[in-house]
Amino acid sequence: MAQDYYNTLGVSKTATQDEIKRAYRKLAHEHHPDKNKGNEGKFKEINEAYQVLSDPNKRSQYDRFGSTGPNMGGSGFGGFNPQDFTSGFNVEFEDAFDIFSDIFGGGGVNTRTRARRERGVDLEMDLDLTFDEAVFGVEKELTLEKKDTCEKCQGSGAEPGSKINTCPKCHGQGQIKTQRRTIFGVMQSASTCDRCDGSGKIPERSCSECRGTGAKRRQKNLKIRIPAGVENGQRIRITNEGEVGYRGSNFGDLYLRLHVKPHPKFKREAENIYNELPISFYQAALGTEIETPTVDGNVKLKIPAGTQSGKVFRIKDKGAPRLNSSSRGDHFVTVHVVTPTKLTKKEKELFKKLAEETGESVEVEEGFWDKFKK
């Protein structure tokens, strides 16, 4: 009975190409014959299924007729060559190379590992800012302990005055290449040289300060410029201020996670700033000009006569700067009319007289009070 290719790879008939590829890679690792619990028969089935399902034309024919025909796949697995991964088996060479690299210790994975080792570690730290520092920017002095370039050997790993020679084990290649016979033929693999740790060079005499690593842990003081307009929770990157890599190679980066302290008067949303301001009943009724605080100091705000409580006024260009821009947001003021609670006898008389003269009254719609009845 012919195998169900979807069942073989453990995917549904609606699986995407990425899902099929991930399933194939996982099963190929698991069942490869050269692994302890490998299964050659299962491995062949997995490759046969992937050969069909990874090709849109073959997959379409398989979905329609349950087969791919005599010239489109099948169980002809014998005589397989690793180079067939770019043709007959319709597998991207990069994916196949990664699989065999993981199984046999191939150069592809180790090359990337070496590249990662040549770059130092990224660091991250928290930084507290005041509200105004976040709005206008600030220069901060930081002290952090990190792996930095050895000052004695300047990162070379060699004792000053001694030579740096080509590694005799890998002959400067940084890798040791080996060949191994497998069911696929002769496979060549490469592993990082353990003598020079992949650098291809070794010092004649190792630095007595860093013992040949080119790096030394120490405290470093930094002056960091925080740009105007940053926000709470934002993370900014300071390039090349992380830890140094092996033997003076590239530095990692330093990431600062910002924590902005709240302001007692203002609230901020993006580039806009908000505050609330109480005004008296008389100011709201008659109109006035008052001062309101902003991040730039007090500014005058005109309150027109008849202003209602909750009215929002906009003051242009008095908000926070937009990050990496010369423009700024706006400042919004919400006024709240404060009704007097304690009136003098004279004030009460004046209010009564005012009410009589204006004849003002509040009309209540019919049925309004009914909802308050029990």
The number of residues in the chain equals 374
Residue 239 φ then ψ, to 5°: -70, 145
The label of the residue with tokens 């030579």 reads 163
Is 220 annotated to bind ligand?
no
Is 150 annotated to bind ligand?
yes
Residue 211 and residue 216: Cα distance in Å, rounded?
9
Strand 267-269 to 272-280 pairing: antiparallel
Residue 53 and residue 254: Cα distance in Å, rounded?
45
Query: What tokens appear for 255 in the block?
Result: 């990431």
The label of the residue with tokens 């190929």 reads 28
Residue 155 and residue 74: Cα distance in Å, rounded?
57
What stretches of the chain show up as alpha helix (H) in DSSP?
5-9, 17-31, 40-53, 56-65, 93-104, 107-117, 131-136, 281-286, 345-358
SS (H, E, C) 6-33: HHHHCCCCCCCHHHHHHHHHHHHHHHCC
Is 167 annotated to bind ligand?
yes
β-strand partners of 125: 256
Query: What tokens appear for 9 in the block?
Result: 């790879």
Is 50 annotated to bind ligand?
no
Taking Cα atoms as reference points, which of 92, 99, 52 lies closest to residue 75? 52
Positive or negative, the Cα torsion across 364, 366, 372, 373? positive
Is 170 annotated to bind ligand?
yes
Is 210 annotated to bind ligand?
yes
- Binding-site sequence positions: 150, 153, 167, 170, 193, 196, 207, 210
- Binding-site sequence positions for Zn(2+): 150, 153, 167, 170, 193, 196, 207, 210
